[in-house]
Structure 1
Amino acid sequence: MESTTDRRLLDTGDPDPVDPDGARRANRLEHDPWRVLRIQSEFVAGFDAMSDVAAAVTVFGSARTTPDSPEYALGVELGGALAAAGYAVITGGGPGAMEAANRGAAQAGGRSIGLGIELPFEQSLNEWVDLGVNFRYFFARKTMFVKYAQAFVCLPGGFGTMDELFEALTLVQTKKVTRFPIVLLGADYWQGLLDWITGTLVPAGTVSQSDVALLHVTDSVAETVEIITRAGAHIEASTR
């Protein structure tokens, strides 16, 4: 399998059978300190590219969503509605649901942003992105998703979407970021997860009911935009 920059950073490396600890430590001393400069450059490039992004919403969803699916159509509708409401749309820049949201934003005349990631298989930014930034490190890319967004919307997706969803929930729950709405768009798809959270995690005491309230589940694009704009107006009023 083709290696990636993230994998080379996170792999422990193959130890020397004669001196396993020494070989591993020597490899780290040689390579790891220099990786900091590459990581720094990714943050600098991201901050520079995104510096003039004002109001924006980050949209997550499956790269496997097909263009003829209802979920793709929902993504296009969402991207267009967000653009009409004055929001730039930020996605991972890939195919599927990400492409759909970028497409909707672009076709509505809005700003369409894609934050790509180096993967073992070839993946380029979709054609509907007008501002694209490619990252080698997931954690640098994740910072950009959060830093420049006023809300998150999750379309149906897999492990990557779940990862972003729960990271966003954790950041809001622990007050690492200003409380902002997290919308799960597609009630049939997301209801089982919400039922498990309320039926298992809440009774176990591992999350509270107020944590569950951080999530909004809906089938409506119009309601999604309303939730986001209402939260934005509330935050703006509270900072005056």
Structure 2
Amino acid sequence: MNEIETARDLEAALAHGSPLSGLRLQDLDLTRHEERLLTRTDLEGLVVLGGRLSPTLDNHLRLHGALVFPTDPHAPVNPYRASLYQPHELYAGMENNGYEQTPDALAYHWSRDADAHHDVFITLLRAIHDDSVSDALTEFVGGAPVVGVMGGHALTRDSEAYAGAARLGHTFASAGLVVATGGGPGAMEAANLGALCPTDAVVSEALGRLAGIPSFRPSIEDWARRALEIFDDIIAIPVQDSAVRSIGIPTWFYGHEPPNVFCNGIAKYFSNAVREDGLLARSTAGLVVLHGAAGTVQEIFQSITPLYYAEADQTLAPLVLVGVDHWSREVPVWNTIEALGRERGMGEAVHLVDTIDEAAELVLSSRT
């Protein structure tokens, strides 16, 4: 492999003695390897993506044909990161300084400021960041089957619908599926919560503790603080299976939606388009759509396109909309979906049901 993302792999590459040309060093602290790197001249085409290195090493690498990509010292997040975010990482410093001084909030403002001033360098760094996150997400998920659960951010923690979404997430994760959501509040948080919890009893306890702070309005701090406390308690529970159960894929495009914390890993993007495509493309085991509005409708129609154009003999993962009245009357997209699916394989893959139990059964039965 030419991508080196850990100190251990870099140490092995240096010890092996093979040319370093053509390698990609991503987000590494090179200061501890500086003495040996300064003796190497086989550096043509070596690419250094971020990380730490001294001016002396930087000059040596460039002198011998390496490409060293710089970062913005004022960036609140690392554009070259090699791993997904963890919940406490995005909310770091909130206890002392409030949400607006967390990396999550600062990243949003950093990105918006770049748009306002047409800063091409920060635009480039955002693109690099999102590509790095996509690479990390692919490695994190591996070959595990993923089911996407979509839904709106307005669902409150004290509602029956929130509890239902949590039960749905738990059902899928207990069946061996990775639950992926848009990573925000509401239905997304509920599905991630249920997936992360190892037992039904833990789901019920978490729901009871969350109900006292039903929304991220008016206080994101209170909303996130309660969730982080519960997250810490959940991940401290000993389990035999350490597999990934819950992934959030949010975006800074929706700056008013804080990321939910009930995830094994969080893939947060600056580009909503890249984020949406990655979320839907990775939902290989199916997609369940709960109540939502404009953002959820966008996801529905984006997911329909590959179903519509699929080859006749292609096996299609199910797309299940939950809420007959909602999707046929309040937000009437079902008639369009049904019309597009006529006389195509897509027609057998799309479903409109009224309960989460029906949705779970459709997804799980499609895998047998």
Q: TM-score, normalised by structure 2?
A: 0.50
Distance 1:120-1:84 versus aligned 2 partners, 3 A rule? closer
- Counterpart CA distance in 2 for 1:178 and 1:5 is 40
Distance 1:122-1:191 versus aligned 2 partners, 3 A rule? closer
- 2:248 maps to 114
User: Quick check: 1:70 aligned with 2:160?
Assistant: yes
Please identify which structure carries the higher helix content. 1
User: Quick check: 1:179 aligned with 2:316?
Assistant: yes
The secondary structure found in structure 2 opposite 1:123 is: coil
| TM-aligned CA deviation for residue 66 of structure 1 | 1.1
Distance 1:171-1:40 versus aligned 2 partners, 3 A rule? farther
Which letter maps to 1:141? R
- Counterpart CA distance in 2 for 1:182 and 1:37 is 35
The secondary structure found in structure 2 opposite 1:47 is: helix
Distance 1:36-1:67 versus aligned 2 partners, 3 A rule? same
Which letter maps to 1:31? V
Larger radius of gyration: 2
Instruction: Using the TM superposition, name which of 208-217 and 148-157 deviates more.
Output: 208-217
- Counterpart CA distance in 2 for 1:66 and 1:220 is 18
Identity of matched residues, % = 27
The counterpart of 2:145, out of the listed 44, 49, 55, is 55
| TM-aligned CA deviation for residue 165 of structure 1 | 0.5
* Structure 1: runs of 5+ lacking an equivalent: 14-26, 234-240
| TM-aligned CA deviation for residue 115 of structure 1 | 0.9
| TM-aligned CA deviation for residue 158 of structure 1 | 0.5
Q: In the alignment, is the contact (CA less than 8 A) between 1:39 and 1:140 conserved in 2?
A: no
| Residues 32-67 of structure 1 deviation map (CA, whole Å, 9 limit, x = unaligned) | 9x8456424412322223324211111110101111
The counterpart of 2:336, out of the listed 189, 197, 201, is 197
- Counterpart CA distance in 2 for 1:171 and 1:137 is 21
- 1:87 maps to 177
The counterpart of 1:219, out of the listed 327, 344, 354, is 354
Distance 1:120-1:4 versus aligned 2 partners, 3 A rule? farther
Q: In the alignment, is the contact (CA less than 8 A) between 2:165 and 2:191 conserved in 1?
A: yes
The secondary structure found in structure 1 opposite 2:367 is: helix
The secondary structure found in structure 2 opposite 1:216 is: strand
| Residues 169-207 of structure 1 deviation map (CA, whole Å, 9 limit, x = unaligned) | 012212399621101122232233256437xx84xxxx3
Structure number with greater CO (CA < 8 Å, separation at least 6) is: 1
- Counterpart CA distance in 1 for 2:120 and 2:333 is 43
The counterpart of 2:365, out of the listed 230, 233, 239, is 230
Q: TM-score, normalised by structure 1?
A: 0.73
Instruction: Using the TM superposition, name which of 65-74 and 160-169 deviates more.
Output: 65-74
Q: In the alignment, is the contact (CA less than 8 A) between 1:81 and 1:221 conserved in 2?
A: no
Which letter maps to 2:336? I
- Counterpart CA distance in 1 for 2:327 and 2:318 is 16
Which letter maps to 1:75? A
- Counterpart CA distance in 1 for 2:361 and 2:176 is 12
- Counterpart CA distance in 1 for 2:341 and 2:266 is 38
The counterpart of 1:145, out of the listed 279, 298, 317, is 279
Which letter maps to 1:63? H
- Counterpart CA distance in 1 for 2:281 and 2:260 is 22
Q: In the alignment, is the contact (CA less than 8 A) between 2:133 and 2:269 conserved in 1?
A: no
